[in-house]
């Protein structure tokens, strides 16, 4: 029988996270405070524990994973690496398709890889309560679970459109003991301002971040947690790629191309960065971040300094952005509706070390349904983006006869996204290319920062 599923023993859970900064050709662009000067650790201490700030700025290649974090990882890690034989057959492609299955975590996605670490370091620092935002509900679920594991209260600002579309994600967070509020709320200054301008605002990740940051900054026993974008979040996610490398080696294969959906960049960085170390050592491998055409941050956005949130409360990152006041269309991959991107992923894209593509919503659901029919698992709408791009590459291989090795990250399952699948089956989903005028208008609102 051919081996299609590579599982590692629990003892093989990585002992260290991999820090891509050590292998980047250029140092990361500095993070700027709202006054335009490089941010100091003190300014970040209002909302983050020192240990995470140190990880954020570290240039060390390897950062040890604390034992209590590895203990909790044991609940679902190492995750399987799976060969998608049945998908290959359905496509009639000579390509070899592998996927790393991050949907097996208790919250159903890769997000707990960082949530557990963030909850641990906050607990160590004596923090009592975590505030956060969530879009699709995946990050909110992950931090609710992690907070519960370490006895921390969790307060989640959930983007209103997702709050309405995904009531069971909310129940899930509540099951793990979290308090969930539909954002914008009138409990914060930033939320009230948005509601005053538009009482029916569908919300956005940028607005929810403003609310969660405001609450953390105003209370000494509360810290803020972010599910993506920041360097330390991507660092924590590298357990995905580190395990995948070992599993590919066991399988006797090595990817020519890696695909991952890209919202803020955490699962992309998680699977791709450990392989980037090989690329830095001249290995021929392509790393492709896949985003929606409705939120084309890297493929069409500006590379500039911008705020991480709508109200301009966060530090400024040099990243690809659609403008911090971007209110995204209500597409179903809620986790991909963010105006910006990780600064590390952005810089690597800008320097042409990694690639990015944008795919249309309907095509992503078509690929997800094909994957579900052949491999069994119903993917999260976010993950469908990677599957689409991977299927397209496999079809190109079919046309050329090349037998490439393709790896994608199945970042989550779609069990709480069946309403989106329903709409797809009823023919109600639409493709939506983000208008050029809106991209140009965003330039007007970007903070004015001189880039040296």
Ligand X SMILES: Cc1ncc(COP(=O)(O)O)c(C=O)c1O
Chain residues binding ligand X by CB under 6 A are 109, 135-136, 138-139, 228, 261-268, 335-336, 380, 382-383, 411-412
Nearer to ligand X, 387 or 397 (CB): 387
Nearer to ligand X, 95 or 333 (CB): 333
Nearer to ligand X, 147 or 412 (CB): 412
Using only the alpha carbons of the chain, give its radius of gyration: 20
In whole angstroms, the minimum distance from the beta carbon of 385 to ligand X comes to 8
Nearer to ligand X, 277 or 298 (CB): 298
Nearer to ligand X, 183 or 266 (CB): 266
* Residue 226 backbone dihedrals phi, psi, to 5 degrees: -125, 140
In whole angstroms, the minimum distance from the beta carbon of 114 to ligand X comes to 9
Nearer to ligand X, 206 or 264 (CB): 264
Nearer to ligand X, 81 or 271 (CB): 271
In whole angstroms, the minimum distance from the beta carbon of 152 to ligand X comes to 21
In whole angstroms, the minimum distance from the beta carbon of 379 to ligand X comes to 8
In whole angstroms, the minimum distance from the beta carbon of 186 to ligand X comes to 25
In whole angstroms, the minimum distance from the beta carbon of 243 to ligand X comes to 16
In whole angstroms, the minimum distance from the beta carbon of 378 to ligand X comes to 12
CA 137 – CA 52 distance, rounded (Å): 23
**Residue 267 and residue 100 in contact, taking contact as beta carbons nearer than 8 Å:** no
65 upstream amide cis, omega within 30 of 0: no
In whole angstroms, the minimum distance from the beta carbon of 342 to ligand X comes to 8
Nearer to ligand X, 190 or 383 (CB): 383
In whole angstroms, the minimum distance from the beta carbon of 410 to ligand X comes to 9
Nearer to ligand X, 109 or 225 (CB): 109
Nearer to ligand X, 419 or 449 (CB): 419
Closest-by-Cβ residue to ligand X is 335
Q: H/E/C letters for each residue in the chain? A: CCCCEECCCHHHCCCEEECHHHHCCCCCCCCECCCCCECCHHHHCCCCCHHHHHHHHCCCCEEECCHHHHHHHCCCCCCCEEECHHHHHHHCCCCEEEEEEHHHCCCCECCHHHHHHHHHHHHHCCCCEEEEEECCCHHHHHHHHHHHHCCCEEEEEEEHHHHHHCHHHHHHHHHCCCEEEEECCCCCHHHHHHHHHCCCCCCCHHHHHHHHHHHHHCCCCEEECCCCCCHHHHHHHCHHHHHHHHHHHHHCCCCCEEEEECCCCHHHHHHHHHHHHHHHCCCCCEEEEEEECCCCHHHHCEEEEEECCCCCCCCEEEEEECCCCCCCCCCCCHHHCCCCCCHHHHHHHHCCCCEEEEECHHHHHHHHHHHHHHHCCCECHHHHHHHHHHHHHHHHHHHHCCCCEEEEEECEECCCCHHHHHHHHCCCCCCCCCCHHHHHHHHHHCCCCCCC
In whole angstroms, the minimum distance from the beta carbon of 336 to ligand X comes to 6
């Amino acid at each position: 029988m051919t081996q299609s599923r590579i599982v590692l023993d629990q003892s093989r859970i990585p002992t260290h996270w991999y820090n891509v900064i050590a292998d980047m050709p250029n140092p990361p662009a500095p993070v700027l405070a709202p006054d335009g000067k490089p941010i100091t650790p003190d300014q970040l201490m209002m909302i983050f524990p020192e240990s995470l700030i140190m990880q954020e700025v570290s240039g060390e290649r390897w950062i040890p994973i604390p034992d209590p974090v590895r203990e909790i990882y044991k609940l679902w890690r190492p995750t399987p690496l799976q060969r998608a034989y049945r998908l290959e057959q359905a496509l009639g492609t000579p390509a070899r398709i592998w996927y790393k299955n991050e949907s097996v975590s208790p919250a159903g996605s890769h997000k707990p890889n960082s949530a557990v670490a963030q909850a641990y370091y906050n607990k160590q620092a004596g923090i009592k309560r975590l505030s956060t935002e969530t879009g699709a509900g995946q990050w909110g679920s992950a931090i609710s679970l992690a907070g519960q594991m370490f006895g921390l209260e969790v307060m989640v600002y959930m983007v209103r459109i997702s709050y309405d579309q995904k009531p069971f994600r909310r129940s899930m967070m509540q099951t793990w003991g979290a308090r969930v509020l539909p954002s914008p709320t009138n409990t914060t200054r930033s939320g009230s301002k948005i509601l005053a301008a538009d009482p029916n605002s569908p919300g956005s990740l940028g607005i929810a971040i403003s609310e969660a940051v405001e609450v953390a900054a105003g209370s000494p026993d509360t810290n803020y947690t972010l599910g993506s974008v920041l360097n330390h979040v991507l660092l924590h996610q590298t357990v995905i790629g580190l395990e995948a490398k070992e599993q590919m080696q066991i399988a006797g294969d090595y990817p020519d191309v890696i695909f991952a959906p890209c919202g803020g960049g955490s699962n992309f960085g998680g699977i791709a960065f450990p392989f980037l170390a090989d690329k830095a050592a001249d290995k021929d491998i392509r790393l492709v971040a896949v985003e929606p055409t409705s939120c084309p941050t890297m493929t069409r956005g500006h590379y500039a300094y911008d705020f991480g949130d709508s109200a301009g409360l966060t530090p400024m990152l040099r990243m690809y952005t659609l403008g911090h006041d971007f209110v995204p269309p209500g597409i179903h991959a809620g986790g991909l509706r963010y105006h910006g991107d990780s600064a590390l992923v952005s810089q690597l894209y800008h320097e042409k070390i990694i690639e990015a593509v944008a795919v249309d919503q309907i095509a992503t659901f078509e690929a997800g349904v094909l994957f579900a029919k052949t491999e069994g698992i119903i993917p999260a709408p976010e993950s469908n983006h990677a599957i689409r791009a991977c299927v397209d590459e496999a079809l190109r291989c079919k046309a050329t006869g090349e037998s490439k090795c393709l790896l994608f990250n199945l970042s989550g399952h779609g069990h709480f996204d069946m309403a989106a699948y329903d709409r797809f089956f009823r023919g109600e989903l639409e493709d939506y290319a983000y208008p050029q005028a809106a991209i140009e208008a965003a330039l007007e609102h970007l903070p004015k920062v001189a880039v040296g």
